[in-house]
Amino acid sequence: NGMFSLFQRIKLKWLQYRYRFVPWIALNLNQRSARTVDQGHSDKLIADHVVLHSILGLFSGFHQFYQPEQKICLETAYKALASRDPAKIARQNSQATGALLGFTVERGPSTLPQGGTGVFVTSGCVPKGSVVAFYPGTVYYPHEAIFFQSIGNSFIFRCIDGVLIDGNDRGLSKMIFNSCSQRDRQGPFNVCDSSWLTACLQNPLAIGQYVNNQSKELPANVAYQEFSVPMDFPFHLRQFLPNVFYSPHSAEDLTQRALRLVVLVSVRDIRVGEELFSTYFTVVR
Ligand SMILES: C[S@@+](CC[C@H](N)C(=O)[O-])C[C@H]1O[C@@H](n2cnc3c(N)ncnc32)[C@H](O)[C@@H]1O
C-alpha cells in the first residue's frame, strides 16, 4: 500500500544518505560544499597509530596528576573519587594540554553571524595533521532508537558506517550520556568522561561538537576522522574518553566491540585566534 512504499522510499533515501550530520541539519545550512572521499578509503587524514599515540600521550599527561587508581585499594579509590575537585582538574588538564601539544582550544562566540558558539585556538599553534578535538557523545548503532533524542538536536554526528554520535550537552541527550556512563562505571573507576557535559572539562579537547561548518570565505581547517579504540587501551586512561555506548554490552561484547571515537584533525597549520571549521558534508563515493 501507499504508506508502505513511502516508508520504503524514506528507508532507501536514508541508506543512501552520506552526509556527516543528520538531514534536518543539512536543511538548516545554506552552503553545502562537500568533501568527497573514495569508498573503501576510510577517510583517514593521519594513520590510526598516530591518532592512538597522540591520545595516549595526552591522556597520560592528564593522568600524571592522579594516582594510578587501579593499583590502589578500592576504599582509597572511592575516597579519591569523592574528594575530586573538578575545577582544579580542569585547570591542570588545560595546562597539561598546552604543555604537551603546544596549543589549547576553547569555545567562544563564533565569528560567523548566527554561528552561535564556535571553537577557537586560544594559545600556541596547531601543526597540520594534529588531533585538535574530540567529538564527545553517546554512540548509537544504526538500528538503535534515537528518535526522541534527535528532535531539534543539531549535534548528531553520522559516521561513515551509519553509527551516530549524539554530542548534545543538554536535555534528554545529557541524561542518557550520564546514565550510560554510570551504568558502565567499574566501581570507583570511570571508563568514560562525562565532564564535557559540565563547565569543568577533564579533557579540554572534548568540544568538537561545537565546531561550525565551513563557508566559502572560511574553508575547513579541520576534518573528522573516525577511530576505533583498541581493546588493550589502558584501563586507567579510559576515564578521559568522551564517548559511551548507548546499549549495554554483554560480557563477550566487552572484547568484541571497539568503542567509536571521532577526532578532528587539522588539515593545515592553524594559528592562535583562528576559529575551527569542518566540513559537515563529507560524501562517500
Ligand atoms: C553541531 S552544531 C555547532 C555548534 C553551534 N554553533 C552551537 O552554538 O550550538 C551545528 C549547528 O551550528 C550552526 N552552524 C554551523 N555551521 C554554521 C555556519 N557555517 N553558519 C551558520 N550556522 C552554522 C547551525 O545552527 C547548525 O545546526
Cα–Cα dist 162/178, whole Å: 23
Hunting for cell 528532535 — which residue is that? 151
Task: Give me the amino acid identity at 269.
Answer: D
Nearest alpha-carbon partner for 277 in 33, 58, 24, 52: 33
Torsion angle (degrees, nearest 10) of CA 22, 177, 258, 205: 80
Tell me how far apart the terminal alpha carbons of the chain are, to the nearest angstrom. Answer: 33
And the C-alpha cell for 42? 576510510
The residue that leads in pLDDT, 7 or 198, is 198
**Which residue has the least CA distance to atom 13 on ligand 1?**
115
Ligand 1 mean position to 220 CA, how many Å? 14
Q: What are phi and psi for residue 263, nearest 5 degrees?
A: -110, 155
22 in contact with ligand 1, CB cutoff 6 A: no
What pLDDT sits at residue 80? 80
Does the pLDDT of residue 36 top 90, yes or no?
no
State pLDDT tens for residues 170-214.
999 999 999 999 999 988 889 999 999 999 999 999 999 999 999
Q: What are phi and psi for residue 280, nearest 5 degrees?
A: -70, -20
The residue that leads in pLDDT, 84 or 277, is 277
The residue that leads in pLDDT, 212 or 143, is 212
Q: Average pLDDT for residues 30-45, to the nearest whole number? A: 57
Nearest alpha-carbon partner for 263 in 142, 179, 165, 121: 165
119 in contact with ligand 1, CB cutoff 6 A: no
Atom of ligand 1 at shortest range from CA of 167: 1
Does the pLDDT of residue 47 top 80, yes or no?
yes
Strand positions, DSSP E, 143-241: 156-158, 164-166, 212-213, 222-228
Ligand 1 mean position to 28 CA, how many Å? 9
What value does the mean pLDDT of the chain take? 85
Nearest alpha-carbon partner for 264 in 187, 212, 200: 212
Specify the 3-state DSSP secondary structure of 31: coil
Ligand 1 mean position to 112 CA, how many Å? 9
And the C-alpha cell for 210? 561545537
Cα–Cα dist 35/269, whole Å: 19
**Which residue has the least CA distance to atom 22 on ligand 1?**
115
Q: What is the CATH code for 19-284? A: 2.170.270.10
Tell me the best of 22, 29, 111 to mutate to test the pocket of ligand 1, counting ligand atoms within 8 Å of each CB and taking the most. 29
Ligand 1 mean position to 116 CA, how many Å? 6
**Contact partners, residue 169, CB within 8 Å, separation at least 6:** 136, 155, 196, 197, 209
Hunting for cell 548503532 — which residue is that? 141
**Domain limits, the chain:** 19-284
Hunting for cell 582509597 — which residue is that? 76
Q: What are phi and psi for residue 183, nearest 5 degrees?
A: -60, -40
Ligand 1 mean position to 280 CA, how many Å? 10
Q: Which of 34-43, 144-153, 157-166, 213-222 has the lowest mean pLDDT?
A: 34-43
